[in-house]
Chains A and B, each alone.
Chain A
Amino acid sequence: AQSVTQLDSHVSVSEGTPVLLRCNYSSSYSPSLFWYVQHPNKGLQLLLKYTSAATLVKGINGFEAEFKKSETSFHLTKPSAHMSDAAEYFCVVSDNTDKLIFGTGTRLQVFP
Chain B
Amino acid sequence: EAGVAQSPRYKIIEKRQSVAFWCNPISGHATLYWYQQILGQGPKLLIQFQNNGVVDDSQLPKDRFSAERLKGVDSTLKIQPAKLEDSAVYLCASRGYRDRGRGQYFGPGTRLLVL
Which residues on A are within 8 Å of B, measured CB to CB?
A: 32, 34, 36, 41-46, 49, 51, 90, 92, 94, 97-100, 102-105
Contact = CB atoms under 8 A, between A and B. Distances in A.
Interface of B: 3-4, 31, 40-45, 48, 56, 91, 93, 100-109
Contacts, number: 51
A40 to B, nearest CB: 11
A98 B42 contact: no
Contacts of A102: 42-44
A100 B99 CA distance: 13
Interface majority SS (helix, strand, loop, mixed), chain B: loop
B14 to A, nearest CB: 23
Given A41-B108, A43-B108, A34 B103 contact: yes
Contacts of A42: 108
Contacts of A41: 108
Contacts of A94: 101, 103
A60 to B, nearest CB: 12
A44 B106 contact: yes
